[in-house]
Amino acid sequence: MSGTLVLVRHGQSEWNLKNLFTGWRDVDLTDQGREEARAGAEKLKARGVTFDIAFTSALQRAQKTCQIILDVLGQSGLETIRNQALNERDYGDLSGLNKDDARAKWGEEQVHIWRRSYDVQPPGGESLKDTGARVWPYYMHDMQPHVLRGGTVLVAAHGNSLRALIMALEGKSGEEIVKLELATGVPIVYRLNADSTVKSKDVLD
Ligand SMILES: O=C(O)[C@@H](CO)OP(=O)(O)O
């Protein structure tokens, strides 16, 4: 038996709009972000997707994205598990800083390394490797069993927590993951084989 795993990065947040490093800061969605979540949900609806369980982070931008998707699908009351293991990478001392100001201060290359490299920690924060060290075990223990039982599982989370999950799911290297960018509100539909490997991947953009 194989199941389905749908990953969605939250819609645009207030700090995405303001171009600020966000990390664990708990900012709301913008109107555009709510619209992106609705549009992503309509694509799932058009394909007849319904979920058996949903997972989201401890942060409101992911939780609200999750709820909007479930509302559109007519599944408002679905069991939804919130866990900070799915939170965005902790950006440490960069949290709240403007990304262009950071580039002006530390240089384009250094900021890109902090944002997209695998194992370099931003000052006082988590590397993608550190983020993966909490996301992956959580996936293995709490989410994957539902998928392997044939379930359809929604995960509404964050750019970097999902990059860490995708890296492990697809077996991407530390170099390959540097290039992976996730659009806000766009569902990524994975079908898994019974041995937990990826059977197919469909990006609903
Ligand atoms: O600020 C953040 O928390 C993340 C996601 O918005 O930013 P980045 O894309 O730079 O990793």
pLDDT in tens, 162-184: 999 999 999 999 999 999 999 99
Pocket perturbation via mutation, ligand 1, pick of 115, 130, 161 by most ligand atoms within 8 A of CB = 115
- Cβ atoms 129, 163 nearer than 8 A: no
195 part of a folded domain? yes
Mean pLDDT of all residues in 148-161: 98
Q: In whole angstroms, what is the distance from residue 57 CA to residue 126 CA?
A: 16
State the distance from the centre of ligand 1 to the C-alpha of 23, rounded, in angstroms: 7
Reported confidence tier of residue 1, pLDDT bands at 50, 70, 90: low
What CATH number is given to the structural domain containing 61?
3.40.50.1240
Query: For residue range 51-64, what is the model confidence (pLDDT) as tens digits?
Result: 999 999 999 999 99
122 part of a folded domain? yes
53 part of a folded domain? yes
ipTM of the complex: 0.96
Domain encompassing residue 24: 4-152+162-203
Reported confidence tier of residue 2, pLDDT bands at 50, 70, 90: confident
Atom nearest to 89 CA in ligand 1: 3
Q: Tell me the three state secondary structure of residue 133.
A: helix
19 part of a folded domain? yes
Domain count for the chain:
1
Quote the mean pLDDT of the chain: 97
29 part of a folded domain? yes
